[in-house]
Chain A
């Protein structure tokens, strides 16, 4: 390279007067570089952790929403079944009430040839203040004849 410079007959520059070379002594950087690397790693870890936490949180929110939506759907279904059951109950209650109306029972009784009694025969009043006499039991043959 120097030879080529000479061959072009470039006029030699005057040597610059450089008072100081731009050089300085720096302390050993091994330790600093090492510590920087640890910080960077820590920062990276934090960043990853943050992202993970955020992602996890978002996932939790999504899952939570899904659960809530599912719960709402179940609630809606249960409410619908409840209203249907309440409606059925009311209709059954009404049907039962219609079946046990006195008019229907009285008409049914008459259809089976039942009539109002012209007079109700009352059993005679027996006071319980005095002990009742013991029942007189007849012979088995008499009882059999009576029942027969």
Chain B
């Protein structure tokens, strides 16, 4: 090799060496850029491609009865999801999962071989079983937090309590109305997933924010009384073939709703249950009853209503609306309990015939007798003396036309006639409850005012909220307002006592207690046109006891019973429910109550 070629070779080697060094330097510079200078950015970008935000649902707050008994609670569970692309031995995994999920292994093996990538195996697996599943480290099996809403009392008071949908959001009742409070605040986590959406195993879960459990509700409901109210109402609905029924029991002084039954009939099941025992007799097991109780549900003769009918269903109130006329007339001094009117049994006004429920000769009747016998003509005379404007004002003062404030979804304020819509016949038809449309709860609130010494107290269902730490925070009482002067309420109570003692409400007698109340029988309007449905009535009884020291008030409404009158269809249910409640709360018996049949 000549010296010239040697020099050339040496130059080439130097050049190649230089190139290699430069390349290595470039690689090193890039490495430094990636690993040191911009490492954070690249790391973030890499994680953002894999990290998926996951919302962690907060545990929903519970709903409790007045005594703390749970009515609705959420139990933490796990949802078991399989990625069957990762499962190489579906039969083996199916056999391992079968006893924990309580699903036959053959069914599981089929599910795990679907090749879909996402197979929910169990939505609400208990945590102990879920822990065993997790401990098995089965490939392709993922556990996700979930919760199950449990109603330990079954469908008891379900129109009031409500329900949640599949997403865990309240869909009816208080569950819906207080959803934002009950739901709590969901947390956020991020997990690492492959581009195919499969969670990467052994990767950490990063909590972005912690889930805060929901706030609970403590209701005023008393489950045993609620059960008795529902059973008594259901039995009478079966007995009278009523289409739906409402029963509400209220604490006179606080306005707390102790029971609110809202039932609808299942006509297809009523035929088999119609032979069940009538109200008041000892129940016997038979069709439509289990253990002497009427089955309330899709398989029974009656079901829970889809909503709280006590505040959502409006109907003409009938004679229970006479409270507006008589309370205003007593308050203004237009009448006293002994003011006498000469009352015929029918009268024509502006071409319309009005009549009393029972025929009777034209006779003098005191105001007490008018209300005790529920005379429509006598009531119209009192209303005429009172005047149109005062009557309309009293209707509003008693709370008709306004929501009760119970906080139940779909509540109706009712439909009231205004002065602009006044017709000459209204001076008769409005006082007897044939113009306005009201809810059962509004009627009860008005009578509760009389029981509470003339002071109107708004009803309430939620008496406290329960913080996640378990502390009860009482809900403030709503302001009350005086409607009747002291003394007037007692006069009116004495008049209402006569309804039960000698009037239309004798079936509301509760042995040992003085009862005051009012019957009501209202027509049902034809849908979309003038007139009434022939033979269809709403039967009502509303009252309170003991009349001398009122503690509890209640209303019972039956829609289209075959025993049409409130005094015969609804008053016995009132007596049964109120009698149970008075004994349950150890209310002392009334002096002189033996006259009521005790």
Interface residues, chain A, with chain B CB atoms under 8 Å away: 84, 87, 90-91, 93-94, 97-98, 100-103, 106-107, 110-111, 115-116, 118-120, 122-125, 127
Nearest chain A residue, comparing its CB with the CB of B77: A87
- Asked, given contacts A93-B73, A97-B70, A120-B511, whether A107 binds B291 with beta carbons under 8 Å apart, the answer is yes
* Residues in B566-598 with C-beta less than 8 Å from chain A: 579, 583, 589-594, 598
11 new A-B pairs (CB below 8 Å) besides A91-B75, A97-B69, A106-B292? A90-B73, A90-B76, A94-B70, A94-B75, A97-B73, A101-B156, A106-B291, A110-B292, A118-B280, A120-B511, A125-B512
* Residues in B460-498 with C-beta less than 8 Å from chain A: none
A25 to B453, CA, bound (A): 125
How far does the Cβ of A58 sit from chain B's closest Cβ, in whole Å? 25
Residue-by-residue, is B271-282 near A (CB-CB < 8 Å gives 1, otherwise 0)?
A: 000000000111
Counting CB contacts under 8 A, is B40 at the interface? no
A98 to B150, CA, bound (A): 10
Residues from chain A with a CB closer than 8 A to the CB of B285 are: 110
Counting CB contacts under 8 A, is B335 at the interface? no
Residues from chain A with a CB closer than 8 A to the CB of B227 are: 102-103, 106
A145 to B291, CA, bound (A): 42
Structural contact, B282 and A116, CB atoms closer than 8 A: yes
A28 to B281, CA, bound (A): 131
Nearest chain B residue, comparing its CB with the CB of A125: B591
A94 to B69, CA, bound (A): 9
Structural contact, B583 and A120, CB atoms closer than 8 A: yes
Nearest chain B residue, comparing its CB with the CB of A98: B152
* Residues in B109-129 with C-beta less than 8 Å from chain A: 127
- Asked, given contacts A103-B227, A107-B291, A125-B589, whether A97 binds B152 with beta carbons under 8 Å apart, the answer is yes
A107 to B293, CA, bound (A): 8
23 contacts between A and B (CB under 8 A): A90-B73, A90-B75, A93-B73, A94-B70, A94-B150, A98-B152, A100-B69, A101-B156, A102-B227, A103-B154, A103-B293, A106-B293, A107-B291, A107-B293, A110-B291, A115-B282, A116-B292, A120-B579, A122-B598, A124-B594, A125-B512, A125-B589, A127-B591
Residues from chain A with a CB closer than 8 A to the CB of B75 are: 87, 90-91, 94
Structural contact, A97 and B589, CB atoms closer than 8 A: no
Residues from chain B with a CB closer than 8 A to the CB of A127 are: 591
Nearest chain B residue, comparing its CB with the CB of A119: B511
Residues from chain B with a CB closer than 8 A to the CB of A84 are: 127
A84 to B142, CA, bound (A): 20
How far does the Cβ of A125 sit from chain B's closest Cβ, in whole Å? 5
A103 to B294, CA, bound (A): 10
A76 to B580, CA, bound (A): 52
Residues from chain A with a CB closer than 8 A to the CB of B293 are: 103, 106-107
How far does the Cβ of A15 sit from chain B's closest Cβ, in whole Å? 55
Residues from chain A with a CB closer than 8 A to the CB of B290 are: 107
A107 to B591, CA, bound (A): 36
Interface residues, chain B, with chain A CB atoms under 8 Å away: 69-71, 73, 75-76, 127, 150, 152-154, 156, 223-224, 226-228, 280-283, 285, 290-293, 511-512, 579, 583, 589-594, 598
Structural contact, B598 and A101, CB atoms closer than 8 A: no
The one of B73, B282, B292, B589 that contacts A122, using a Cβ cutoff of 8 Å: B589
The one of B153, B512, B579 that contacts A102, using a Cβ cutoff of 8 Å: B153
A3 to B153, CA, bound (A): 131
Nearest chain A residue, comparing its CB with the CB of B591: A125
- Asked, given contacts A94-B75, A101-B156, A103-B153, whether A111 binds B583 with beta carbons under 8 Å apart, the answer is no
Structural contact, A102 and B282, CB atoms closer than 8 A: no
Nearest chain B residue, comparing its CB with the CB of A127: B591
Residues from chain B with a CB closer than 8 A to the CB of A91 are: 75
Structural contact, B282 and A103, CB atoms closer than 8 A: no
Residues from chain B with a CB closer than 8 A to the CB of A123 are: 589
How far does the Cβ of A101 sit from chain B's closest Cβ, in whole Å? 5
The one of A93, A100, A101, A111 that contacts B291, using a Cβ cutoff of 8 Å: A111
A116 to B69, CA, bound (A): 24
How far does the Cβ of A102 sit from chain B's closest Cβ, in whole Å? 4
Structural contact, A101 and B281, CB atoms closer than 8 A: no
A124 to B154, CA, bound (A): 40
Structural contact, B152 and A101, CB atoms closer than 8 A: yes
Residues from chain A with a CB closer than 8 A to the CB of B280 are: 118
Most buried by A among B70, B283, B579: B70
A101 to B156, CA, bound (A): 9
Structural contact, B281 and A118, CB atoms closer than 8 A: yes
Residues from chain B with a CB closer than 8 A to the CB of A100 are: 69
A127 to B591, CA, bound (A): 8
Nearest chain A residue, comparing its CB with the CB of B513: A122
Structural contact, B283 and A116, CB atoms closer than 8 A: yes
Residues from chain A with a CB closer than 8 A to the CB of B282 are: 115-116, 118
How far does the Cβ of A85 sit from chain B's closest Cβ, in whole Å? 12
